[in-house]
Chain A
Amino acid sequence: MTVLSLSKALNEGMRKAMEDDPKVLIMGEDVGKLGGVFRVTDGLQKDFGEDRVIDTPLAESGIIGTAIGLALRGYRPVCEIQFDGFVFPAADQIITQLAKMPMRSLGAIKLPVVVRIPCGGGIGAVEHHSESPEAYFTHTAGLRVVACSNPADAYTMIQQAIRSDDPVLFFEPKRRYWEKAEIDTTSTDWWTPLHAAKVVRPGAHVTLLAYGPMVKTCLEAAAAAEDDGRSLEVVDLRSLNPLDEPVVMDSVRRTGRVVVVHEAPVNSGFGAELAARITEQCFYHLEAPVLRVGGFSTPYPPSKLEEHYLPDLDRVLDAVDRTFGY
């Protein structure tokens, strides 16, 4: 067992993928000598060279567009978008090209491109450095959208994403980069499928649905609720597209109450999709409406206000209380 932070686990996962397959490339702004602004690619250029860990010009559309071309030539590029809010200049290439080219080719083309996006807030950053743009991409057919929440998943999921023949948008919870856990990197018994959700804490009374940075917040809320005699089940969705519906619906049918928690604005967020699907499939099992806890319908605020914007343990527990009010 090795103790690794989430960022180091990603680094080790990419290193393993690069060792296993010479076609795997890393590309992005500052990913080489600097090792990325979060050091997630630290040391990779030193060990694999500038042709495989490519410091690119500063243009996000160019990163994704050229990654598509490299993939067409047989490579498996892993692109780093430096911060969530900077993915938008690349949105055209991601949405109109990366997502749709395989279908456009009637299956002749595969685009095994991973787009890594450090996402979410809580690190005191300036504007455009703390956003949660996942719903823009779950709305786009042709992309797989996943989010890791802990070091062990980070290590395995990044390798699975790189092995996937489909384009994968890989959301990394930047405020959890420094959290550590024990990982058995020698084990071969870690192959939970990339699309699979996990019940990370079993419970009986309420299901908390979360992904990425909010999984830890929900686990803390569940621990606190236990003191009040409430048993909260926490499901880490891990994959948003496709959604692992059997795991989600099974949990909802057992508890009858659901709170969805994410950092992104609630309005038209991924929680709305979850609420709709749960209502369609579990209507007669529900004791209360599906409640959502998330960001407000405002731009992400200046960092001195972000503690109010971001869902925390108290807002999650408040929603849990409200589900019992019905």
Chain B
Amino acid sequence: MTVDASRGAEAPPELVQLLTPEGERVEHPDYDIDLTPEDVRSLYRDLVLVRRIDLEAVALQRQGELGIWASLLGQEAAQIGSGRALTDVDMAFPTYREHGVAWCRDVDPVKLLGLFRGVNHGGWDPKEHNFHLYTIVIGSQTLHAVGYAMGIQRDDATAATIVYFGDGATSQGDVNESFIWASVFNAPIVFFCQNNQWAISEPLEKQTRIPLYRRASGFGFPGIRVDGNDVFACLAVTRKALEAARTGQGPTLIEAFTYRMGAHTTTDDPTRYRVASELEAWKLKDPIERVKAYLFRNELADQAFFDSIEAEADQLGADLRRRCLAMPDPEPLDIFDHVYSEPHALIDRERAQFAAYLEGFER
């Protein structure tokens, strides 16, 4: 059986691409985008800084400062492109790997580290950033996003939600239920699937026998596959889908065809299940290098610009490291906080008993 979901260097024909891996600008009849030189430099900056955050976090994990980390290496364009398409009123629902989208929503990166360091389960206020908390259970957040979008409808607001998930999540019941709900209620939502080809060690072939974006048609809304390593295309496609959602045209499924260059998380060993040649092929499609090539090719940036971004990244990395190490451990009695929003007798008693027990050691 032929599977039209190749992971190799050859791009599948349905892919929307506006910038080739060599940094050449190409046109697409449905998805054009007008970017100023400043826009492109700004996108480049975000890509580089987010990659640095990610690399620093991996290093911190290796040094024992984080319990685990889910790297976004290779997926920067999918996240920055889609994240930059959002307006302030739109709401984003991430998995646990959307560090680039978090960056676009102005979430302090050190707050992402809190979750992985084990000081909390998510330390930012979703309402402040319109960026929901990370969700660990695969696909659960897709339903939350649809419900939120139904709330937007009831508020008569002009806004949309975007929900992120991976290729593995498309096998989950919740994701399929979210497609049904979104379609039936014509909810203002964009489903953004980052198909990074691997669900831990399970290849895409274990999740689907058709390209993922084509699933949308079975649920009654459009699906589009975009080059997930092309930040221009990701921005253009997401912008259009969000606009459709905001103007009452219902959901869109975007499949960002990309590749997870690193491990699933730092506990994983990809050499057990994938071949090195696959990685090498995808390195040639690096999302940052192609924007750099475009900037060079069109003389939109000089070496001083690239050096300044590198310096900024160095500073960001060092700052992140310093603030990660300075993050205080939570207090023991914090265990009992925020379980309920209203008083709860059992929690109150257990807190008091544990406090008394702890005090026993201090006498």
Contact = CB atoms under 8 A, between A and B. Distances in A.
Interface stretch (B33-41, B273-281, B342-350): B342-350
B147 A243 contact: no
Interface string B152-182: 1111000000000000000001100110110
B271 interface: no
A165 B146 contact: no
A73 B346 contact: no
Given A57-B180, A108-B127, A65 B338 contact: no
Contacts of A107: 337-338, 341
A57 B142 CA distance: 16
B340 A144 contact: yes
Interface string A58-77: 01011011111111111100
Interface string B321-363: 0000000000000000111111011110000000000000000
Interface string A202-227: 00000000000000000000000000
A141 B347 CA distance: 9
B283 interface: no
Interface stretch (A90-98, A172-180, A287-295, A307-315): A90-98
B177 A62 contact: yes
Contacts of B215: none
Interface residues of B, number: 43
Contacts of B214: none
B359 to A, nearest CB: 21
Contact of B149 (A69, A100, A142): A69
Contact of A166 (B126, B140, B145, B340): B340
A162 B126 CA distance: 23
A188 interface: no
Nearest to B93: A69
Nearest to A56: B181
B213 to A, nearest CB: 22
Nearest to A69: B147
A56 B133 CA distance: 26
B184 A57 contact: yes
Contacts of A166: 340-342
A230 to B, nearest CB: 31
Nearest to B122: A104
Given A59-B180, A106-B120, A70 B143 contact: no
A103 interface: yes
Interface residues of A, number: 46
A185 interface: no
A321 to B, nearest CB: 33
A85 interface: no
B151 interface: yes
B333 to A, nearest CB: 14
A57 B181 contact: yes
B95 to A, nearest CB: 14
A202 B292 CA distance: 81
A51 interface: yes
Interface string B107-148: 000000000000011110111000011010100101111111
B151 A75 contact: yes
B341 A108 contact: no
B123 A72 contact: no
A242 interface: yes
A244 B149 CA distance: 38
A242 B345 contact: yes
Given A57-B181, A59-B177, A62-B180, A105 B126 contact: yes
B181 to A, nearest CB: 5
Nearest to B182: A66
A8 interface: no
A54 to B, nearest CB: 8
Among B121, B122, B151, B184, chain A packs the most CB atoms within 10 A around the CB of B151
Contact of B137 (A59, A70, A96, A144): A96
Contacts of B177: 57, 59, 61-62, 65
A67 B147 contact: yes
B150 interface: yes
A36 interface: no
Interface string B195-209: 000000000000000
Contacts of B125: 105, 108
Contacts of B153: 51
Contacts of A71: 147
A65 B176 CA distance: 12
A166 B344 CA distance: 10
Given A57-B180, A59-B177, A65 B143 contact: yes
Contacts of B340: 102, 142, 144, 166
A66 B338 contact: no
B137 A97 contact: yes
A195 interface: yes
Contact of B152 (A67, A73, A109, A110): A73
A164 interface: yes
A245 interface: yes
A104 B144 CA distance: 15
B339 A72 contact: no
A103 B338 contact: yes
A173 to B, nearest CB: 24
Given A65-B178, A66-B143, A69-B143, A102 B150 contact: no
A319 interface: no
Among A51, A65, A66, A100, chain B packs the most CB atoms within 10 A around the CB of A66
B181 A62 contact: yes
A34 interface: no
Contacts of B181: 56-57, 62, 66
Interface of B: 120-123, 125-127, 132-133, 135, 137, 140, 142-155, 173-174, 177-178, 180-181, 184, 337-342, 344-347
5 contacts: A69-B146, A71-B147, A106-B338, A108-B125, A166-B340
Q: Give the top 7 A-B pairs by smallest Cβ distance, nearest first.
A: A69-B147, A65-B143, A73-B151, A66-B147, A62-B177, A69-B148, A107-B338
Given A70-B147, A103-B339, A141-B339, 8 more contacts: A65-B146, A67-B147, A68-B147, A69-B143, A96-B137, A100-B121, A105-B122, A109-B133
